[in-house]
């Protein structure tokens, strides 16, 4: 890859069986100097790799890579990168339906770990990635694929907009599937690919900020009933009349792992994110206060 592109600065190494970016490692080629032969590169890898997974060490990563295999990709450079995705469905009769678009919320040391998503994707480029994803869908259809798929992009700002790099195809439901289906169920609205927005039956646009990685050790003090009481008493729950509010999922993991998911639905992207921030703050406050009858630490 470096011989083909001498200016290539970094690459990302991905284990085939990794998920949410935690099977990834970043390699800065600039720290290696002249690569020389393969033995030189292999000797330098243990100190040069930067892993996305917390606590990952070279020996464990090396064993995973040897067991499952993987790939090496060029790292796309650029300031203010975005990571949008488009979800589509290929019907049995060969139609490619655009279902939704999202901007993924990424975390981890180099921003490769999926944390959540905002819906819909930024209006400045949503239609552009619709068209690109549809082309991918047509190729998949011609190869006999039926069902759901998603195309992930890395989008870099340029002088006249954004430059989009398709980096991954997921032939499955993904982290953005459930939040979108929940929005459809709660509002009975629909996504309009032409306008790149979701509209309720009353003609109101709807947006959300979703994450299934809301975690805090103190949440283990709470049981699902506590969560429901907190949400209702603090008026955070989804209001069918206004078609806004917070919906929770993964609440079965609350007491054991201190983790849950949430979808914050509002009438603007800014309000959806603010609702998410407020809700996390409320949960942190209530969990820190403890639950009557339980010790301050578990």
* Domain spans in the chain, listed from the N-terminal domain onward: 10-74, 84-170, 204-289
Residue 245 pairs with which residues in a beta bridge?
A: 265
Answer with the residue of higher pLDDT: 289 or 50.
50
- Residues paired with 84 in a beta bridge: 103
Q: Is the pLDDT of residue 298 over 50?
A: no
For residue 228, CA distances in Å to 39, 144, 283 come to 58, 45, 11
CATH 3.30.470.20 fits 84-170, yes or no: yes
Mean pLDDT of 259-268: 96
Per residue in 6-51, pLDDT (tens digit) is 889 999 999 987 766 678 999 998 887 665 566 777 778 888 899 9
User: What is the per-residue pLDDT across 121-155, written as a single tens digit (0 to 9) for each?
Assistant: 999 999 999 999 999 999 999 999 999 999 999 99
Work out the average pLDDT over 265-285: 96
pLDDT for res 38: 66
Q: Would you tell me which CATH number, out of the four given (3.40.47, 3.40.50, 2.60.40, 3.30.70), belongs to the domain 204-289?
A: 3.30.70
Q: What is the pTM of this model?
A: 0.86
Q: DSSP letters along 142-208, please? A: HTT--EEEEEEEEEEEETTEEEEEEEEEE-S--TTHHHHHHHHHHH--EEETTTTEEE-TTS-EEEE
Note the pLDDT of residue 296: 45
Query: Which pLDDT value is given to residue 256?
Result: 93
pLDDT at 177: 92
At residue 197, the pLDDT reads 94
Q: Give the least confident one: 21-30, 79-88, 112-121, 217-226.
A: 21-30
Using alpha carbons only, give the angle 182, 140, 118 rounded to the nearest 5 degrees: 30
* pLDDT value at residue 209: 98
pLDDT, tens only, 187-217: 999 999 999 999 988 888 999 999 999 999 9
Sequence-distant (6+) residues with CB within 8 A of 66 are: none
How many Cβ atoms from other residues are within 10 Å of residue 197's Cβ? Answer: 17
Average pLDDT, the chain: 90
The pLDDT value recorded for residue 149 is 96
- Average confidence (pLDDT) over 78-87: 94
Contact 24, 52 (CB under 8 A): yes
């Amino acid at each position: 890859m470096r011989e083909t592109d001498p200016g290539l600065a970094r690459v990302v190494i991905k284990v085939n069986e990794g998920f949410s970016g935690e099977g990834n490692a970043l390699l800065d080629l600039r720290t290696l100097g002249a690569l020389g032969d393969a033995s030189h590169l292999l000797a330098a890898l243990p100190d040069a790799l930067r892993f996305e997974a917390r606590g990952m060490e070279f020996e464990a990563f090396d064993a995973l890579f040897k067991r499952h295999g993987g790939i090496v990709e060029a790292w796309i450079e650029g300031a203010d990168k975005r990571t949008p995705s488009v979800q589509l469905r290929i019907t049995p009769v060969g139609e490619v339906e655009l279902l939704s678009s999202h901007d993924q919320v990424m975390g981890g040391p180099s921003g490769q770990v999926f944390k959540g998503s905002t819906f819909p994707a930024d209006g400045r480029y949503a239609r552009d990635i619709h068209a690109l994803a549809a082309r991918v869908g047509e190729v998949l259809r011609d190869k006999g694929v039926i069902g759901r798929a998603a195309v992930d992009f890395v989008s870099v700002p340029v002088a006249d907009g954004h430059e989009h790099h398709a980096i991954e195809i997921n032939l499955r439901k993904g982290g953005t599937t459930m939040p979108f289906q929940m929005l459809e169920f709660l509002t009975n609205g629909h996504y309009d690919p032409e306008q790149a927005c979701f509209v309720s039956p009353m003609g109101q646009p709807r947006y959300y900020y979703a994450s299934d990685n809301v975690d805090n050790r103190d949440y283990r003090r709470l049981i699902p009933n506590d969560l429901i009481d907190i949400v209702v008493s603090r008026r955070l729950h989804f209001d069918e009349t206004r078609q806004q509010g917070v919906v929770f999922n993964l609440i079965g993991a609350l007491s054991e792992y201190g983790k849950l998911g949430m979808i914050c639905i509002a009438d603007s992207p800014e309000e959806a994110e603010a609702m998410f921030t407020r809700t996390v703050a409320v949960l942190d406050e209530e969990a820190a206060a403890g639950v009557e009858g339980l010790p301050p630490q578990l």
